[in-house]
Amino acid sequence: MKKIINLTKTFFIDSSREFAVPFWTIIFPTLFFILFVSIFENIGTSENLDLKVGIYYEEPLQGVIKTTFDDVFSPSESNHIPFKVVEYDSFEKGLRNLKNSEINAFVVFPENFNLLNLKFLIKTIEIPDIKVYYTNDSASMYARDIFEVFLDEMNIMMYTRGEEVKLAVNEEIIGIKQSEPYRYRDFLFPAIILMSVLTVAVFNMPFDFSYYVEKGVFKRLNSTPIKGNEYFFSFLLSHLILLLLSLIVLYIEAYLFDVSPDIYKPEFIAYSGFSILVILSVGLLLSSLYKNMGSAEAISQVIYQATIFLSGFYFEVTNTPWFIRWYVYFNPVTYLVDGMRKLMTGNVLVPVNIIVPVIWMVASILIFSMSYKGMVYCEK
């Protein structure tokens, strides 16, 4: 045990001595997370949402009120209305569609609202308020706020036409039980975890193996008291320690960025551990295939870039052309990141989230176990 501890310490210090190793394994994923969240999380703001506002008239608008409303809310290019107006002939249907999130806000023009046409002549006339219904969804709140801005424009137009009145609005929120919104930072965090693991599996481990092959380190093991399995276990353990440090930093960052608390659930952590085992197994497979640093650097770059961009790390990839989509389904990381996101959103894992990664893990370990002994004892 002491021999393994000392050898692990040596491997860890040796691999961490170069700044590139801790940078790409620990620092880069944290910086990448900050950068992507800062850039892409605010894409879904009000100006980018496909908002719909439902309108229901208890009686048809007439006179100046109708003319003003049509001028403000007509779908002409000059108006630049940031939402679509949907008219309803039934109050119940409009409210039901709001609750089902088919529209983002529901506006009711009440009966006797046309009396507003006489308001500038008879000041004592009581005008019923416009009723605006919305939900606790952020898009619904955006729609309500934007609609009220356009009502202010109606007030201005009515004032210029001699109607010195202000439209009164009565708001009512329709409470809808919702889970916490699934933000881009929640979507991205599993991918950042796997990015860190991939860095270890695709770069760190194969590069170290290739370096030792070139320097004849394995050949010298025959003349030392260190056994091949002790060397292998220490080598793997040193990279696991580096990976563990990376995950600790990522979880600290997740806490500071208020990532979903679902990342602390036992099932999420367990599946993350399973994902680490799968990817490191593939890393061992790659390590046994490279014979020199040149081939390791070239092939690893191709595998790494293809994996992170064709696994659904940052965006949906199932609609890619067929000539590259095969890699999406062939790649075990596709199923791993999908499984982690399922657990974060309360969904159940499907069989492919387990079966495909297990096949990769078993096949990788078998191939590595058959080639490792030859690499250690038959090195040329």
Residues 276 and 292 in one domain: yes
The pLDDT tens digits for 217-251 are 766 766 677 666 777 788 888 889 999 999 999 99
What percent of the chain lies above the pLDDT cut of 90? 26
Confidence tier at 49 by pLDDT (50, 70, 90): low
Q: Mean per-residue pLDDT for 35-57?
A: 72
Residues 208 and 271 in one domain: yes
d(CA 69, CA 107): 13
Tally of domains within the chain: 2
Structural domain contains residue 310: yes
Task: Write down which residue in 145, 173, 201 finishes a domain.
Answer: 173
pLDDT greater at residue 56 or residue 64: 56
Structural domain contains residue 13: yes
Task: Write down which residue in 154, 173, 192 finishes a domain.
Answer: 173
Residues 291 and 366 in one domain: yes
Task: Write down which residue in 119, 151, 173 finishes a domain.
Answer: 173
Structural domain contains residue 178: no
> Which residues does residue 86 pair with via DSSP β-bridges, in sequence order?
54
The pLDDT tens digits for 323-346 are 788 888 999 999 999 999 999 888
Residues 79 and 199 in one domain: no
Residues 75 and 199 in one domain: no
Q: What angle do CA 301, 305, 311 make, to 5 degrees?
A: 145
CATH number at residue 93: 3.40.190
Structural domain contains residue 356: yes
The pLDDT tens digits for 93-126 are 999 888 887 888 898 988 888 887 776 677 677 8
Structural domain contains residue 233: yes
Structural domain for 297, as ranges: 1-41+183-377
Residues 106 and 9 in one domain: no
pLDDT greater at residue 111 or residue 155: 111
Residue 197 has pLDDT above 70, yes or no: yes
